[in-house]
Chains A and B, each alone.
Chain A
Amino acid sequence: MTNNPDPPQEVPELDQWSIDRLLLGYPPDPAAGPSAAGIWALVTAARSPMSAAERAGEATVLAGFADAIRTGRPAGLRRAPMLALSTLLGSKLALAATLGAVALGGLTAVAYAGDLPAPAQQFAHDSVGAPSAHHGRPTPTAKGPDATGKAAYGLCTAYRSAGQHGNAKTKSVAFRNLATAAGGEPNIAAYCAKIPHPGKSGDHPTRPPTRPPTRPPVSHPTGPPSARPTGHPGPHPTGRPPGHPGHHR
């Protein structure tokens, strides 16, 4: 209203129902007055589309996601490789013994079966994508690698290697998983023949259909929030019909 010549002007307080409507995304009535216009300006600005600057963090987060999918390791533990490296240096004798004992193909096979000492297992995990050593957390290794997921190629390589060397690794959890994925031990060779080399085409050529390759090994230390809203927020005005007559206090 511009009738009042004296600044500051009187701005009547909006009623609760009008505020709720604006926050639900309904534009103010043209006769609603300056207060509604001000709040509407605030709402539209606060919910504007993402700017280029706001998108700057996308690469970091998507890399974290890809890393978590690739390694099956929680993305929140991004320092894990460094910790693994220091552990590795501390255990270099054990690693050297392992490296000396097996050729690379054999190492890969052992690694995929999850049978290396933890530091070496982590090294193999980081370098060839074998299952992680899991740093002594409550062990998910009883589950073994997901033979329907990204570990399939490695498991198949290990399976072939084990067959060539007459190795008895076929009793391991990993190979039982592979057999399960293949629909039985006799079908492993046929199953493996269909597994493409990872990284040749597409991001996740052997992506599992319904779940990530490896579940996070720990149950949530801080827990999902207990107060999870279940309503429908956001700029979609689905809550209240425009013609609501009453005040909402």
Chain B
Amino acid sequence: MTDAEFDALLAEAIAGDGGAFGRLWRDSQPMLLRYLWVLVGDRAEDLAADTWLDVVRRLPSFRGDRAGFRGWLITIGRHKTIDAQRRSARRPERLVAVCTGIEAASGQDPSEIVTERLSTQAALRLIATLGPDVAEMVALRVIVGLDVAEVARVVGRRPGTVRVAVHRGLHRLALQLTGGDVTPVPPATLLGRDDQ
């Protein structure tokens, strides 16, 4: 979808055209759903639907291009996720990914996958194994396609922190995918909190 196509669809959707809104949805739903899946696993679908309903409500106030829309959408989804996790009385100050059990649930040896076509679900499972913080940053870079500065804004970290974390996370995944030696790094020590 080009930026011009996006602009036209956005205007039509704001004017009430369901078909145009449907195309916007199909354009951005995969990356939203996959990003949320890395954060919360199977609850992603509900959160994505919730996010889109919020988008419906706020659409008339949105100003921006396709890239801006995706960043906006992701940020709404992220807030929804944090709200949901606060409601379920988990650790309220940060996202809690569901990496526990994902590795076991996949039942696949990643190194066998790389020679064939890596499935989307396998890719998401791999990313989720990085632990909450790094997994989210890698997801925003790999799935959503945000650049380092954009990721830093979304997650509220310094760009340098994002760059290092994503680099190390991707290297670790590359090792897994190519059957290389992986030294597990506890997510908690991989990255110091640098939030103000």
Contacts and interface: CB of A to CB of B under 8 A. Distances in A.
B67 interface: yes
Given A64-B52, A227-B75, A228-B71, A48 B120 contact: yes
A34 B174 contact: yes
A65 B173 contact: no
B97 interface: no
Interface stretch (A122-130, A132-140, A216-224): A216-224
B54 A57 contact: no
Interface string B68-112: 101110011001000000000000000000000000000000000
B167 A16 contact: yes
Given A8-B179, A46-B124, A209 B15 contact: yes
B9 interface: no
Contacts of B181: 8-11
B165 interface: no
Contacts, number: 231
A216 B60 contact: yes
Nearest to B139: A46
A41 B114 contact: yes
Contact of B126 (A8, A42, A50, A207): A42
**Residue from A23, A65, A210 with most neighbouring chain B CB atoms (10 Å):** A65
Interface in B169-187: 170-171, 173-181
A60 interface: yes
* Secondary structure dominating the interface of B: helix
Contacts of A10: 180-181
Interface in B15-51: 15-18, 21-22, 25-26, 29-31, 33-34, 45, 48-49
B15 A212 contact: yes
B70 A54 contact: no
Contacts of B72: 224-225, 228
B177 A224 contact: no
A69 B20 CA distance: 13
A7 B53 contact: no
A231 B75 contact: no
A14 interface: yes
Contacts of B26: 50, 55, 58
B114 A37 contact: yes
A68 interface: yes
B191 interface: no
28 contacts: A11-B175, A16-B163, A38-B173, A38-B177, A38-B178, A42-B173, A47-B143, A51-B120, A54-B33, A54-B34, A56-B45, A57-B29, A62-B25, A64-B52, A66-B18, A74-B57, A75-B53, A76-B54, A76-B57, A149-B16, A204-B17, A207-B16, A208-B16, A212-B15, A220-B58, A224-B62, A225-B79, A233-B71
Given A37-B114, A74-B56, A224-B62, 18 more contacts: A11-B181, A16-B167, A38-B177, A41-B123, A46-B142, A50-B29, A57-B33, A57-B49, A60-B49, A65-B13, A149-B16, A204-B18, A210-B11, A211-B60, A213-B16, A216-B58, A228-B71, A233-B147
Interface of B: 11, 13-18, 21-22, 25-26, 29-31, 33-34, 45, 48-49, 52-54, 56-58, 60-62, 64, 66-68, 70-72, 75-76, 79, 113-114, 117-120, 122-124, 126-127, 139, 141-147, 149-150, 153-154, 156, 163, 166-167, 170-171, 173-181
Interface of A: 7-11, 13-14, 16, 19, 23, 25, 34-39, 41-51, 54-58, 60-62, 64-66, 68-69, 74-76, 78, 149, 203-204, 207-213, 215-216, 220, 222, 224-225, 227-235, 239
